[in-house]
Amino acid sequence: MAIPTVSSTQKTPETSLFGLPVIVAALGYFVDIYDLLLFGIVRVPSLKDLGLTPDQISTVGASILNWQMGGLLLGGILWGIIGDKKGRLSVLFGSIITYSIANIACGFVKYVTFMDPSTYYALMRFVAGIGLAGELGAGITLVSEVLPKEKRAIGTSLVAGIGLFGAVVAYFTVKLFDWQTAFFVGGGLGFGLLLLRVGVVESGMFKEVNDQKHVNRGDFLSFFTNADRFSRYLKCIGIGLPTWFVIGILATFSNEFGKAFGISEEIQPGLAIMWCYVGLATGDLASGFISHALESRKKGVALLMAVALVFSLVYLFTGIQSSTALYGLCLAMGFGIGYWAMFVTIGAEQFGTNLRATAATTVPNMVRGLVIPMTLSYQALKPSLATINAGAVVGLVCFIIGFYSILTIPETHGKDLNYLEE
């Protein structure tokens, strides 16, 4: 149940779309995406350098990716609770230090002798995942609370749209240098970003609630103790499933799909991920304006989700015969899943100030964590259904849940966020 805060007179002074909170959140998400997608881009070359066979690269690579996603799942809960208890800025500082150190450590995996390098790699990606989990939710929560409701959709889409180009920079960093240098650059970018964050102020809404000592903040279990709140929480997660089906299955394992399609050229998963994120960034920049024009989060997200479904079907079932067509479809599918910013914004807007950071941080990381059952299902279905049909079955489940969730969740366009969850 939503109840108003004791006072609604305190206003956060920063309301500009191009103010420091928005700029720093966008740059933070840029570094976050750079580091988050880096393993997917360097998965094949880095594991080749460790001496793994093609079959091992597929299985060990999927395992390491799952460890990273497991870290995201755990970190989402951790940073979400901290964000509501200690403040949004605590997360923005703590998370970036964690994943920057872990990414630098990944650059040394080739020289590890004190344990199996693949195990070390998985552990470092797990730690990186924990750190990466805090960036987007805290940033979107802060931006949502410092901007007026008329600008929220555009502001959060700017954060995600600019941030998602980190995947493009990650790809070209690997191409210009090597995968080890790319990890070191990612860590360095993170520490550089810390300097920019010194001037960012805390959300006024959080400060107001923080002064109310009787308010229960950051209680993750409260999502499961009220039927209406639990339903909203599950639907927030469901909306995001198609995004990581496209990224975690269709793009990440594009080399396997390329072989199944009979494409003679070698498909580079890193390049497929890069094109997917170019589309995703473009879609995210557009999604805020689409939502604003339609005056509806639900209509905007449903429209883009339908685009993603159409191009996923084209990808899987039209018999594409060239690498150019495959990369082009990754771009198109990426645009369709470019409702990521709106998805996280919906998660922030569905809940009161005392649970907002917990929701906005855990929801996207729950989706990322669900990549684990997606990849395990895909790998398990391949022997009996073959690559294409295995991917299609996983996608069917994700899109059914996604459409049901967005069509039945409460609308939040123009919603006043200055309230508490009882």
Question: Residue 219: pLDDT band by 50, 70, 90 thresholds?
Answer: confident
Residue 2, phi then psi, degrees to nearest 5: -90, 135
Residue 32 has pLDDT above 50, yes or no: yes
Residue 236: C-alpha distances to residues 89, 162, 185, 342, 417 (Å): 24, 23, 33, 11, 17
Mean pLDDT of 9-16: 47
For the chain, which residues make up each domain, given as ranges?
17-197+222-415
CB 241 within 8 A of CB 402: yes
Residue 14 has pLDDT above 50, yes or no: no
Mean pLDDT of 114-133: 92
Mean pLDDT estimate for the chain: 84
Position 418 scores a pLDDT of 67
With the C-alpha atoms ordered 387, 57, 40, 78, is the resulting torsion angle positive or negative?
A: positive
Question: Residue 216: pLDDT band by 50, 70, 90 thresholds?
Answer: low
Mean pLDDT of 17-27: 76
Mean pLDDT of 389-410: 96
Tokens of 131: 């750190």
- CA-CA distance, 387 to 383, in Å (whole number)? 8
Residue 312 has pLDDT above 50, yes or no: yes
- CA-CA distance, 293 to 272, in Å (whole number)? 31
pLDDT digits (tens, 9 = 90+) for 242-288: 999 999 999 989 999 999 999 989 898 888 988 998 898 889 888 88
Mean pLDDT of 292-316: 93
CB 352 within 8 A of CB 84: no
Position 8 scores a pLDDT of 42
Mean pLDDT of 30-39: 85
How large is the greatest C-alpha to C-alpha distance in the chain, in angstroms?
A: 65
Residue 421, phi then psi, degrees to nearest 5: -85, 130
Position 387 scores a pLDDT of 92
Position 20 scores a pLDDT of 72
Position 9 scores a pLDDT of 41
Mean pLDDT of 60-69: 88
In the block, tokens 């959709």 appear at: 153
Residue 4, phi then psi, degrees to nearest 5: -70, 155
Identify the residue with better confidence: 1 or 290. 290
Mean pLDDT of 27-45: 85
Question: Residue 304: pLDDT band by 50, 70, 90 thresholds?
Answer: very high
Total residue count of the chain as it appears in this document? 422
Mean pLDDT of 196-213: 56
Question: CB 287: neighbour CB atoms within 10 A?
Answer: 29
pTM attached to this predicted model: 0.78
3-state helix/strand/coil string of the chain: CEEECCCCCCCCCCCCCCCHHHHHHHHHHHHHHHHHHHHHHHHHHHHHHCCCCHHHHHHHHHHHHHHHHHHHHHHHHHHHHHHHHCCHHHHHHHHHHHHHHHHHHHCCHHHCCCCCHHHHHHHHHHHHHHHHCCHHHHHHHHHHHHCCCCCHHHHHHHHHHHHCCHHHHHHHHHHHCCHHHHHHHHHHHHHHHHHHHCCCCCCHHHHHHHCCCCCCCCCHHHHHCCHHHHHHHHHHHHHHHHHHHHHHHHHCCHHHHHHHHCCCCCCCHHHHHHHHHHHHHHHHHHHHHHHHHHCCHHHHHHHHHHHHHHHHHHHHHCCCCCHHHHHHHHHHHHHHCCCHHHHHHHHHHCCCCCCHHHHHHHHHHHHHHCHHHHHHHHHHHHHHHHHHHHHHHHHHHHHHHHHHHHHHCCCCCCCCCCEEEC
Position 65 scores a pLDDT of 85
Burial 150-185 (b: 16+ CB within 10 A, else e): ebbbbbbbbbbbbbbbbbbbbbebbeeeebbebbbb
- CA-CA distance, 358 to 372, in Å (whole number)? 22
Identify the residue with better confidence: 13 or 322. 322
Structural domain 17-197+222-415, CATH architecture: Up-down Bundle (1.20)
pLDDT digits (tens, 9 = 90+) for 166-190: 878 888 898 898 899 999 999 998 8
